Amino acid sequence: MMDNLKKTRWQHVIFVLLIALLAFGSEGCKSTGKLSKKERKAQIETAKKQLQPVIDGTSTLSLESQEQLISQITGKNFNDPDLNQMLLKASQKVKQGMAEQAKQTAINVDAARATLLDLVLNKDNKTADQIESELNRIKSQNLKDTEIDELIVRVEKKIKDMRSFNSGSVLPVRTQLENAFTTIANSARTGNLSQADATIQSTLQFFSSDDVPVLIIISRDGSMVDYDKPTTINRYLHFLRDQKASNNTIDALQLDANGKIKELDLIKKQ
């Protein structure tokens, strides 16, 4: 009887061990990630459905997310000829989209730079609210460009200055220059040469260099324009000081990439 009892216990132990080994083996198979033919086929079909909108250009995913999707499917190594062809087409489509996106971003950056430089100088005499509206439109593009970010800061300061009381920045650069010309001439005429010299130095800050060309229009008839002898801004400002009179007004000005004046056209006052 004892022998039968021991035999029964050993059979129970062996049975439990077999169950444990079978369970472990089952988990081990799952951990290898091996798929049945049915599962593999289903996943390939799912991958194809995910890739088709990318190839067609109808995907609602961002280009970065589409690129991640392609990478994830490629990493599964399905080694299916049709799927591999779709992966190639999808990759080419995303690459093309990124190239077009980069090109459009460059165009947007150039346009934003030009607009921001105009806003800094306020050549069109816009109000602070009008400038802020233009600025917000550019900021909403989120261009992520260092130069654009720097110009945005300058325009924000411009708006702040314009909204401050008694701020000279309220005036557009054209008006500030013409006021400076008048101040130089009037200060020299009243004998206040130190004021005239100080105004000359502050006015030169508007220009890219002291040698910026200044062209003075003597007469204009349609497209026919006659100019006086060319000079430089430094010489012209000192000319105003010496002559004690400002007889010209601004006709046009050109800016460089930094928003500084690189050429100035004047015309005789009527």
- The pLDDT tens digits of the residues spanning 54-87 come to 999 999 999 999 999 999 999 999 989 999 999 9
- pLDDT, tens digit (0-9, with 9 covering 90-100), for 152-165: 999 998 888 777 64
Q: Which residues contact 102 (CB under 8 A, 6 or more apart)?
A: none
Half-sphere exposure at residue 59, Cβ-oriented, CA atoms within 13 angstroms? 22
Report CA 113 to chain centroid distance, whole Å: 9
User: What backbone phi and psi angles, to 5 degrees, belong to 220?
Assistant: -150, 130
Alpha-carbon span 178 to 43, nearest angstrom: 74
pTM of the model: 0.46
Per-residue pLDDT of the chain (270 residues; tens, 9 = 90+): 445 445 555 555 454 444 544 444 444 444 335 778 899 999 999 999 999 999 999 999 999 999 999 999 999 999 899 999 999 999 999 999 999 989 999 999 999 999 999 888 877 778 888 899 999 999 999 998 999 999 999 999 888 877 764 454 456 788 889 999 999 999 999 999 999 999 999 999 999 999 999 999 998 887 788 899 999 999 999 999 999 999 999 998 888 877 789 999 999 887
- Helix then strand then coil, in percent of the chain rounded to 5, is 65, 10, 25
